[in-house]
Structure 1
Amino acid sequence: MQQNNGLDKNQLISFALFSMILIGAMFYFQNKQAKEQQLKDAQNKTAVSQKVAANNAKPAIVTNLNDSVKTASIQQIELKNKELTLGISTLGGQISKVQLNEYKAYNKKTDVNDKPLLVFDKNNSSYGFQFKDKTGKIFNTKDLVFSPVQNGNSVTMQTSVNGAVIQFIYTLLNKYTVDFNVKTQGLSQLVADQKAEFVWDYNVRGMEKGRSQEQTHSEFNYAFDDYNSFDYDGRTTMEEPKEKLNWLAVKQQFFTAVIEPQKGFKNSKGSQDMIEEGEFLKKFNFNGQVDLANNELNEDFKWYFMPLDLPMLKSYDKNFDELLPLGWSFIGSLNRWFFIPMYNLITSWGLAAGWVIFLMTIIVKIILSPVMFKQHKLSAMMKVIRPEIDAVNEKYKGADAMKKQQETMAVYRKAGVNQMAGCLPGLIQVPIFYALFRFFPNMIDLRGKSFWFAKDLTAYDDVIKLPFNVPFLGEHLSIFAIACTVVILIYTVMTAGNMQQPTQEGMPNMKVLMYIFPITFLFFLNTSASGLSWYYFVSNAINILIILVIKYWILDEKKIHAQIQQNKTKGPKPEGKFQKRMREMMEKAQEQQKVQNAGKKK
């Protein structure tokens, strides 16, 4: 607990000046593409597509499954609405390009989000249906060449394999949804199994600033149990042999690609591997089984290419909102029902995102102020009875540790001090800390929002460039992270004085550990969202002001001393259940130790 070594009003003035200098330094550091051409008239485009198909696109007919696919002209058919631009390739009849028109990707050269945001492009995604023929050989639709027929925002891809016809029909619907219908005819003459394997290989492209943070958020997500259950896997493999998946997503920090089979995927499995450098972050592979009806594949699928925007995700009513990693259980509820509504309300006032976070911090501190007051009152009481605690430690120095602890607890009880009350503020702030740790890097409304020198509050600021790479820090220093570390260190110095030193040999010095914590926090925050660092800077600066206000204007140590003396005359306060249980456990342990010592003497 705090042992205040003369924190006077001059220090208060010093802190105020320091804060002004720090904020002034922050101010000092601060500082399209044209829209694509609209779609041509549907009838003209259909005519052009059919003409090209007739002249150039010859469907690949495999007369023998041992033969290679015949070469043909590969073309890409474009479908477009306000939100999406799709390119569908005749090779494999698959979606080969997906651009989210209303968003931009991070450009390392300009240090802002100004590149086209391409989910699929340059063959980073490849998918198809894999079949086993009656001779036991495997063929996959992604290796076949299809011929296209386009009608407005719908295109039919068709190919033939030994007389069997396979059709993929894509229809771009409103917003982020693509109908994907699969039809076959004559497939029953080729295949022996009653199943097909949907195989998807996908290398996710980096879209954000901060590679490690985005890699952490890139993972498999899936729903099952009729959309009622949800799970995710950020490890190397995923295995779901028993569940029927309603949809499978590869999620990144702010965007996702989802495939939804009407009848679900069975015997699903997948793998994911980190890509250490370059354009791509992770390599994903998924394999899910779909059933054939009479050895024919006639099933409806849907593709979704979406931003992780909570209201939009909830509008689908398919458990897509779980894709936004707001935290499990109480943590997620805290974000959904408290922090997000608070953020939306303050944002509606027209404030910059950084000042929205500033006001959020103040609101949280006001809510927690009664708890913080109790904590600091306890600190003052602990300071008053410190001489008595030191006397107990001296009296029982070298004696039985259990006896010393019992006598210490007796001093607390007589003074009416409940040590456990000091743990409450810390326990309350743990879920808040973790909720905000989830909130700031995943709130798409903050993506690309600048504040002072931070160009994106969901990524780190790197105004201070380093000429070399420092392990765990990288090649930059974040000003927000440094500022946050400084105020945490000041707060620690002001509060660590009250902490009792270890009385047992070999026990760690908690005061030293408390001083180390702010330094380790720098390594954590340096590559985290600058919005998170800004929140913790403001939060800890307010903590310091609260301590000073309580010390100089609210709490009177003389009155506290008089109250403690009065408590002693009344006798010890009744034990709480927890205190009683602790005392009984200590007494029982002490008895057992006496028995063991007596046995050793015999």
Structure 2
Amino acid sequence: MDRNSAIGLTLIAVLLIGYFYWFSPQPQPVAPKVTTTQSSASQKKDSVETAAALPSDSILQATYGDLSVAMKGTETATVVETADLKITFSNKGGSIKELELKKFQSYDQKFKKKVIDPLKLVSPEFSEIKLLSQFQGKEIDLYTLFYQVDQKKDGDTTEVTFTASLSAGATISHIYRIPNNGYEIGYNISSKGLDSQLTGDNLSFQWNYAVQPLEKDLTDTRNNTTITYYTDEDGFSELTPRSTSIETEAFAGSVKWVAIKQKFFLASFISKNNFAGGEVQSSVTPTDSSVVKKASIKLSIPKKSLVDGTAAFKYYVGPNDYQVIGDVSERFKENVYLGWRPVYWINKFVIFPVFHFLTQHIGNYGIIIIILVILLKLVLFPLSYRSYLSMAKMKVLKPELDEIKARVGEDMTKVQQEQMKLYQQVGVNPISGCIPVVLQMPILFAMFYLFPASIELRQQPFLWAEDLSTYDSLIQLPFVIPFGVGSHISLFTLVMTISTLVYTWQNNQLSSVQGPMKSMSYIMPVIFFFFLNSFSAGLTFYYFVSNLVTFAQQAIIKRFVDESKIRTIMEENKKKNAAGGGKKSKFMTKLEEAMKASEEARKRGDDDKKKRK
């Protein structure tokens, strides 16, 4: 690798660091049978009984007319439990009051460890849902009415219906359909007669949500928490995840779905026939560690859809898992960010299918990462061989390249011309060693996006790391290191950095690079240590294992690369070129022409300076 190649790779590395800085990512139990519990006054452990603190019947009648009959009652809870969810409904509002993910566990932020408690994505403490309309000139929240509950089984699906019957014969119903498996909950709203008493063209669905800390790294969680949405006009979009100010987006046209996206979980509301506009907003208080972000969703539901049966929706409240969310709705799977194209294609069609296949047959994710490294290295072996062969050629030429530098002196233009002449004579392409490296970069990038976004790694331990989806913190510091390092040293990142420095030293023995460029090659791994110290332990472990396998590959390749034979071939090429029988490659011809043009431009510049003097 000559000076130009080293400069090129250094610039590429600087661009990568800049991009990453600004744009940075057990066997399941047998599914239990669906159980439902409808609580009553005699079942205190499953019920919530609350006296409605409302005005007298006469005042309610005068204020809300027929609607007043549904504004007083006793709150009770209905619990539906499936293989994946435990959902608590309330007859006050006919809505979801609490929802647990049975197969996932929360994370204790205070003691920085996984806890046994099931993970709750909906709870009255941090989630509030309203369905607002105008009734007789007054705003009314239909989720504050008291409803009669009815539930039944339809195959492996549980259907829960909440109906409010008014004195004039008008009704409004909320119907939920909960399958035995999965995280989708069907939801329909229907009305008979009540729509004529509600003013305005639309109902307003509002969801205020305070995102709770569910992961180890609060900063990383905030950087990956936002509101995503899909509109007919713009397709998939999101509010800026890393913003520390209030982010707002209003929709004048139709909206298909909106999701409150955390790093590994989603709470979303989806319409079968589109919403008639709305607004989303997110905000963050950096000093408040009890809340990741606050999210607010407002969506317009056409009033006429309640009557004609088109007010059909569904909730998806569950893991942000690429394998699970693909069929939820249009472009819903883009909530899992797998990188920019073509990195996205590599992840989608190559890396992720292999990774998912391995997860189906192997329970240890550290072993899965090792196998993934070996498989990719085998596929990329031809490129690695060509890269090593190119470095071996440069090593053979190193004495002559050093002699050129000593003979020509400090005139870098002349040095480059002489070096290019030597390359042409011996038949060596100076960038042939860089091309295989560049071709392998999309794989490196693919891993950079895959591991931080893979919920499969969440809370999966390996060696000293308790959670491969975040940094390992075996080494704790009594102080905070700046530049985003934090108060810990990730041991996986540390061993990755050491192995990269060893790899760099090994390559520099084959390289002709000297001076500042050689020093820079050692500085870059240290810079990446600062950058990757708070990244996924699975990612840095992958890079570490990749370095180890590369050492083994180079040791094998070295046994089959004869430097004396390379020298003989170069001498033969030099003789052919001297005799006029050599043939220039297109690349060498163009490079030579470019250097001549550059030299001529330099001479013209020097002549112009002399004339001006």
Query: What TM-score does the superposition give when structure 1 sets the normalisation length?
Result: 0.80
Distance 1:598 1:54, change over 3 A: closer
Residues 1:339 and 2:376 are matched in the alignment: no
Tell me the residue number matched to 1:528.
Answer: 535
CA apart distance, 1:301:
1.4
CA apart distance, 1:431:
1.2
Deviations 1:442-479 (A, max 9, x none): 32333332222222222222222223333322232222
Greater alpha carbon shift after TM alignment, 533-542 vs 183-192? 183-192
Tell me the residue number matched to 1:120.
Answer: 122
SS at match of 2:539: helix
Tell me the residue number matched to 1:444.
Answer: 455
Distance 1:240 1:297, change over 3 A: farther
In structure 2, C-alpha distance between the alignment counterparts of 1:255 and 1:456, rounded to whole Å: 16
CA apart distance, 1:489:
1.3
The one-letter amino acid of 2:560's match is: I
Tell me the residue number matched to 2:271.
Answer: 261
In structure 1, C-alpha distance between the alignment counterparts of 2:72 and 2:128, rounded to whole Å: 18
Alignment of 1:402-481 (within 5 A): 402-471=413-482, 472-481=484-493
Tell me the residue number matched to 1:488.
Answer: 500
Deviations 1:308-363 (A, max 9, x none): 33333335464433332222433233223322332344445546221121121112
The one-letter amino acid of 2:265's match is: F
CA apart distance, 1:189:
5.7
Tell me the residue number matched to 2:23.
Answer: none
SS at match of 2:289: coil
Tell me the residue number matched to 1:18.
Answer: none
The one-letter amino acid of 1:146's match is: F
In structure 1, C-alpha distance between the alignment counterparts of 2:370 and 2:173, rounded to whole Å: 55
Deviations 1:486-524 (A, max 9, x none): 111111122234555579xxxxx2322221222222223
SS at match of 2:401: helix
Unaligned runs of 5+ in 1: 4-32, 504-508
Tell me the residue number matched to 2:81.
Answer: 80
2:601 to 573, 592, 601: 592
In structure 2, C-alpha distance between the alignment counterparts of 1:244 and 1:161, rounded to whole Å: 35
In structure 1, C-alpha distance between the alignment counterparts of 2:313 and 2:494, rounded to whole Å: 49
Distance 1:40 1:376, change over 3 A: closer
Greater alpha carbon shift after TM alignment, 525-534 vs 466-475? 466-475
Residues 1:287 and 2:282 are matched in the alignment: no
Tell me the residue number matched to 2:572.
Answer: 566
Asked if structure 2 preserves the Cα contact closer than 8 Å seen for 1:145 and 1:159, the reply is no
In structure 1, C-alpha distance between the alignment counterparts of 2:82 and 2:348, rounded to whole Å: 30
CA apart distance, 1:37:
12
In structure 2, C-alpha distance between the alignment counterparts of 1:423 and 1:263, rounded to whole Å: 52
In structure 2, C-alpha distance between the alignment counterparts of 1:346 and 1:163, rounded to whole Å: 59
SS at match of 2:274: coil
In structure 1, C-alpha distance between the alignment counterparts of 2:178 and 2:43, rounded to whole Å: 19
In structure 2, C-alpha distance between the alignment counterparts of 1:219 and 1:110, rounded to whole Å: 23
Deviations 1:544-569 (A, max 9, x none): 23334444x22232222222111111
Distance 1:211 1:230, change over 3 A: same
Asked if structure 2 preserves the Cα contact closer than 8 Å seen for 1:205 and 1:280, the reply is yes
Distance 1:145 1:432, change over 3 A: same
The one-letter amino acid of 1:85's match is: K
Asked if structure 1 preserves the Cα contact closer than 8 Å seen for 2:34 and 2:180, the reply is no
SS at match of 1:194: strand
CA apart distance, 1:157:
5.4
Alignment of 1:130-169 (within 5 A): 130-131=132-133, 140-141=141-142, 144-152=144-152, 153=158, 154-156=160-162, 158=164, 166-169=172-175
Deviations 1:383-441 (A, max 9, x none): 22223323433444344x54543332222222211122122232122211121122222
Asked if structure 2 preserves the Cα contact closer than 8 Å seen for 1:326 and 1:332, the reply is yes
CA apart distance, 1:220:
2.4
Asked if structure 2 preserves the Cα contact closer than 8 Å seen for 1:440 and 1:458, the reply is yes
Asked if structure 2 preserves the Cα contact closer than 8 Å seen for 1:194 and 1:295, the reply is no
Tell me the residue number matched to 2:563.
Answer: 557
Unaligned runs of 5+ in 2: 4-28, 153-157
Asked if structure 1 preserves the Cα contact closer than 8 Å seen for 2:133 and 2:203, the reply is yes
Asked if structure 1 preserves the Cα contact closer than 8 Å seen for 2:50 and 2:75, the reply is no
CA apart distance, 1:99:
0.4
The one-letter amino acid of 1:78's match is: V
CA apart distance, 1:207:
2.0
Distance 1:581 1:221, change over 3 A: farther
In structure 1, C-alpha distance between the alignment counterparts of 2:533 and 2:79, rounded to whole Å: 42
The one-letter amino acid of 1:588's match is: A
Deviations 1:142-166 (A, max 9, x none): 5x34334242550415498999865
Asked if structure 1 preserves the Cα contact closer than 8 Å seen for 2:126 and 2:209, the reply is yes
Distance 1:322 1:490, change over 3 A: same
Identity %: 27
Residues 1:358 and 2:370 are matched in the alignment: yes
The one-letter amino acid of 2:257's match is: W
Alignment of 1:157-306 (within 5 A): 158=164, 166-175=172-181, 176-184=183-191, 193-225=200-232, 229-235=235-241, 236=243, 237=247, 239=249, 241=251, 244-276=254-286, 277-293=288-304, 299-306=311-318
In structure 2, C-alpha distance between the alignment counterparts of 1:53 and 1:96, rounded to whole Å: 11
Tell me the residue number matched to 2:99.
Answer: 98
Asked if structure 2 preserves the Cα contact closer than 8 Å seen for 1:166 and 1:183, the reply is yes
Tell me the residue number matched to 1:29.
Answer: none
Residues 1:368 and 2:374 are matched in the alignment: no
SS at match of 2:431: helix
In structure 1, C-alpha distance between the alignment counterparts of 2:119 and 2:362, rounded to whole Å: 27
The one-letter amino acid of 1:118's match is: K
SS at match of 2:211: strand
In structure 2, C-alpha distance between the alignment counterparts of 1:480 and 1:583, rounded to whole Å: 46
CA apart distance, 1:134:
8.1
CA apart distance, 1:302:
0.9
The one-letter amino acid of 1:331's match is: V
The one-letter amino acid of 1:107's match is: D
The one-letter amino acid of 2:429's match is: N
CA apart distance, 1:305:
1.4
In structure 2, C-alpha distance between the alignment counterparts of 1:106 and 1:475, rounded to whole Å: 19
The one-letter amino acid of 1:279's match is: S
The one-letter amino acid of 1:594's match is: K
Query: What TM-score does the superposition give when structure 2 sets the normalisation length?
Result: 0.79
The one-letter amino acid of 1:119's match is: L
Asked if structure 2 preserves the Cα contact closer than 8 Å seen for 1:291 and 1:297, the reply is no
CA RMSD of aligned residues (A): 4.0
**Alignment coverage as a number of residue pairs:** 560
Asked if structure 1 preserves the Cα contact closer than 8 Å seen for 2:218 and 2:289, the reply is no
In structure 1, C-alpha distance between the alignment counterparts of 2:48 and 2:466, rounded to whole Å: 47
SS at match of 1:262: strand
CA apart distance, 1:259:
0.7
In structure 2, C-alpha distance between the alignment counterparts of 1:408 and 1:419, rounded to whole Å: 9
The one-letter amino acid of 1:151's match is: Q
SS at match of 1:116: strand
Tell me the residue number matched to 2:400.
Answer: 388
The one-letter amino acid of 1:105's match is: S
Deviations 1:72-104 (A, max 9, x none): 755543232222112234555432311011222
